Amino acid sequence: MKQASSLSETLMPWAGLVVGVLAAGFVHQFGSEGTFDKCGTIAPGPLLVVASIGLLACASAGLVSWKALRGSKDLARKVVATISVGCAAVFSLAILLPMIASMVLPPCFQ
């Protein structure tokens, strides 16, 4: 069990970057596929649910990286955690803006 704990501690600074990329990519792919493939039938509801889950995952991963930043004395871990927290913030913005657009813009421009 010591090895699993050590592995999770090693990956903590990278959480915001890795999970942020995956969450933003999944939300973007879900939204773009839904918009282009089923433009007439897609509603903002499913997109908002998926985007909210992605935003929550991205923010949680950013907090994990923030905790790794605050609890570390190693300079390399601090640098990685700082970059990861910043990336989580940027990816959260990348998820938030399409959420706003899905509520404001109509689903199809015919």
Between CA 25 and CA 4 the distance in angstroms is 28
pLDDT at residue 26, as a whole number: 93
The model's pLDDT over 73-106, given as tens digits with 9 standing for 90+, comes to 889 889 999 999 999 999 999 999 888 888 887 6
Domain ranges of the chain: 13-104
Stated pTM of the model = 0.82
Highest mean pLDDT of the ranges 5-19, 22-36, 54-68: 54-68
Q: How far is CA 72 from CA 1, 78, 84, in A?
A: 21, 6, 14
Query: 48: which residues sit within 8 A by CB, 6+ positions away?
Result: 99, 102, 103
